[in-house]
Amino acid sequence: MIKIFRTIRQRMLKENRISRYFLYAIGEIVLVVIGILIALQINTWNEGRKRHAQERKILKELLTNLRMDSLDHAGNRDWSRDVAASARYVVDGLEARDPWQDTMSLHYGRLLIHGVATLNTSAYDNLKSVGFDLISNDSLRIALTSLYSLDITRLLKLEKEMLSDDQVQTIVPAVMKRVRINKPWWDSTPRNYGTLVDDLEFQTVIRWKMVTSDHIAGEYDIAKRKTAELMGMIERELAKQDNP
């Protein structure tokens, strides 16, 4: 098309038809501009399609990661609740001066259990490197960053503090000094049960184990609930994109 305009333009110049020449020159410019605009529009459309496909891919990966995290939160919550219940059982039994029974070994065995979150953050880390603005839904983007930067960060910080300060420095030494580990987590017996009845230091440590285990169980439950809420938002967003 441009070649045709060029031929016509040269003919106009030879025939000294200046007004017609300018008309065709303008037409040639307009044609070039339109071609550029069309090319830009096609490029923008292609980039939009690529970003949309990338967003869907990351959303699906996030959904997979969050499902695994939800199971991990549930497992740690249940473990922590069991530990809190066993710690309460041990303290109540000692305060009541109950005689030793073999069934107590399970509860003493649980005193050294400590939950540790095993999170799957590959999709979130990938999104962070790409840029959070890839997520087109503002509410979803805010909920996503809130879960990982606030809730999960708080949970991991609490875990670290409990593991380093409470578990390692206080609870483990107190328990290991007084309790024989037969089968880790399942079967432990006091070295001298009779002395534990009047051992206020041990009872205080186990009571603290009960309180902290119950507290972190609540944090795992919050993480599980917010993870479930985010999963629901992602599922709805994917469904909306499938049926715009």
Q: Per residue in 202-241, pLDDT tens?
A: 999 999 999 999 999 999 999 999 999 999 999 999 998 8
Residue ranges of the alpha helices (H) in 96-133?
104-109, 122-130
pLDDT of 66-106, one tens digit each? 999 999 999 999 999 999 999 999 999 999 999 999 999 99
pTM, whole model, 2 decimals? 0.78
Helix (H, G, I), strand (E, B) or coil at 187: strand
Band the pLDDT of 23: cuts 50, 70, 90.
low
Q: Return d(Cα 210, Cα 127) in angstroms, integer.
A: 38
